[in-house]
Amino acid sequence: MNQLEMKKLAAQEALKFVQPDTIVGVGSGSTVNCFIEALGSMKNQIKGAVAASKASEELLRKQGIEVFSANDVSSLDIYVDGADEINPQKMMIKGGGAALTREKIVASLAKQFICIVDSSKQVDVLGSTFPLPVEVIPMARSQVARKLVALGGSPEWREGVVTDNGNVILDVHNFKIMNPIEMEKELNNVAGVVTNGIFALNLAHIVIVGTAEGAKLIK
């Protein structure tokens, strides 16, 4: 079974948590794209969705699903999103698609955060295989990069990428994150940082892992 098939398994399993007549929170990325495709089969049962990126909004509309703004809702029953890395404590690194800020906003609205991944995303220590994305106000890019170097990381500007919010991304390599909660807080306090891709303060409630043996739930 290839990686795409495992992503589709996880996405299909997440449909079981979607309740009729609700608005579904949807993240972004390749695994979420599989979920949006699957969600199309329920388009007549749900009210619509709130998306964490313009790309996801476009895919939802193609499936015939009404898209709401985060400002239109006071809460969401569930939020479904992927991860670039996830550790055994269900803490994550996200932001490979540069949508980390909007993902944090939509996730914070949800009563239940469901993370869907294939087995390659599971790690013991965050930062082991994937650089940490940090969304930065453009004028602060160099200043923030110097701070990240002082913290032991090797930041790299993701040139040519502008977030949906009009900002830039610094990808921090060589950053083994031993205390994700403290690191998430510390980085968010750096002047010029919009947010960083550590999701430790807002954990996934349920992780669905697509594997060669089928979809596995971690609660």
Query: pLDDT digits over 5-49, tens only?
Result: 999 999 999 999 999 999 999 999 999 999 999 999 999 999 999
Q: Which of 13, 85, 103, 135 is catalytic?
A: 103
Cα torsion 9, 97, 157, 119 to 10°: value is: -10
Assign 50 to helix, strand or coil: strand
Q: Contact, 94 vs 84, CB < 8 A?
A: yes
Q: 32: burial class by Cβ within 10 Å (0-12, 13-18, 19+)?
A: buried
Residue 195 has pLDDT above 90, yes or no: yes
What tens digit of pLDDT does each residue of 66-107 get? 999 999 999 999 999 999 999 999 999 999 999 999 999 999
Closest alpha carbon to 86 in 212, 189, 206: 206
Q: Where in the chain is the domain with CATH 3.30.70.260?
A: 132-197
User: Looking at the domain that runs over 3-123+201-218, which CATH code has it been given?
Assistant: 3.40.50.1360
Give the C-alpha separation, 77 to 209, whole Å. Answer: 21
* pLDDT, average across residues 205-215: 95
Cα torsion 89, 113, 35, 135 to 10°: value is: -80
pLDDT at position 194 is 98
Q: Where in the chain is the domain with CATH 3.40.50.1360?
A: 3-123+201-218
* pLDDT, average across residues 194-200: 98
pLDDT at position 1 is 82
| DSSP category for residue 93 | E
Structure tokens at 27: 């993240």
Residue 144 has pLDDT above 90, yes or no: yes
Class of domain 132-197: alpha beta
Q: 13: burial class by Cβ within 10 Å (0-12, 13-18, 19+)?
A: buried
User: Is beta strand 67-68 parallel, antiparallel or unpaired with respect to 92-93?
Assistant: unpaired
Q: Contact, 96 vs 133, CB < 8 A?
A: yes
pLDDT at position 153 is 95
Structure tokens at 122: 């599971």
Closest alpha carbon to 9 in 218, 209, 219, 217: 209
pTM: 0.95
Binding residues for substrate: 28-31, 81-84, 94-97, 121
Active site residue 103: yes
Binding residues: 28-31, 81-84, 94-97, 121
* pLDDT, average across residues 183-193: 97
